[in-house]
Amino acid sequence: MLTMRNAIISLLATLFIGGCSVYEKYGYGRIANSKLDSTQVTPIELPIYAPSISQRYRPQYASGQGEHKGFDILVPSRTPVLAASNGEVVRVELSILYGNQVMLNHGSNAAGFRIQTRYFHMSETIVAEGEKVRRGQLIGYSGATGLLGGYPHLHFEVHQLNDENIPAAIRDLDPQLFWVDGKGKVTCYDSARNFTPAPVSLSYPVPCRDLDWQ
Ligand SMILES: [Zn+2]
């Protein structure tokens, strides 16, 4: 009964608030169709060995649909979640809508603004606030926790902190702008690769097939 009630609340929350709603088949290298017009999305090159994307970032001004502040990676529950870049854990919490979540602060991007990444709906988190993490480090496991969780996946967000003292100066941005290999070029984490630490750039927050992350 509780599961059914949660499913209904999740559906209603998704309809009215936006959020993670589209279900697709688990797999690799696929991106779900987007109803957004081409001016609203960054083209994505997803490696064939990267877990599929079920829902893209939708900015607030995208008409006709609720906003979606990050993108969804289709991974089964208990998939390792990896830090997208070197950083520090600024928050670990259980929220009603987003379930178990972790927020990491990283260094600055090329424009000099601090970048923050957020990981939602996790089944378990294994880092503590204040802890330093390195790119590719295991920070927990994916899941479907929180009312907007719906089905097992990782919801991933990127925020830019325009002024660290003013909460309202934090804004969400399309994560596709920040990959190590460039805009729209999803970059898998690979422990054998040397990543440059600055300016901040991101790698995929879940392991890609056949690539070492440990
Ligand atoms: Zn989502």
Q: 150 alpha carbon to ligand 1 midpoint, in Å?
A: 10
- Residue 52 CB partners (closer than 8 Å, separation 6+): 24, 25, 26, 27, 28, 29, 30, 31, 32, 46, 73, 74
pLDDT for 40 equals: 63
Distance 45 CA to ligand 1 centre (A): 19
Average pLDDT, the chain: 86
Q: Which domains does the chain have, with CATH numbers?
A: 2-177 (2.70.70.10)
Average pLDDT of the segment spanning 8-30: 66
pLDDT value at position 1?
43
Rounded to two decimals, the pTM is 0.87
Lowest average pLDDT, out of 30-39, 48-57, 102-111, 190-199, goes to 30-39
Distance 120 CA to ligand 1 centre (A): 8
CA 130 to chain centroid, in Å, comes to 20
Q: Residue 175 above 90 pLDDT?
A: yes
Encoded tokens for 32: 């779900």
Question: Residue 79 C-alpha to ligand 1 middle, in angstroms?
Answer: 16
Question: How many angstroms separate the alpha carbon of residue 22 from the centre of ligand 1?
Answer: 9
DSSP labels, 15-74: HHH--S-------BS-B----S-GGGS---B--TTSBPEEE--B-TT-TTS--BSEEEE-
Inform me whether the pLDDT recorded for 20 exceeds 80. no
pLDDT per position as a tens digit, 192-209: 999 988 789 999 999 999
| Most confident by average pLDDT, 2-6, 127-131, 197-201 | 127-131
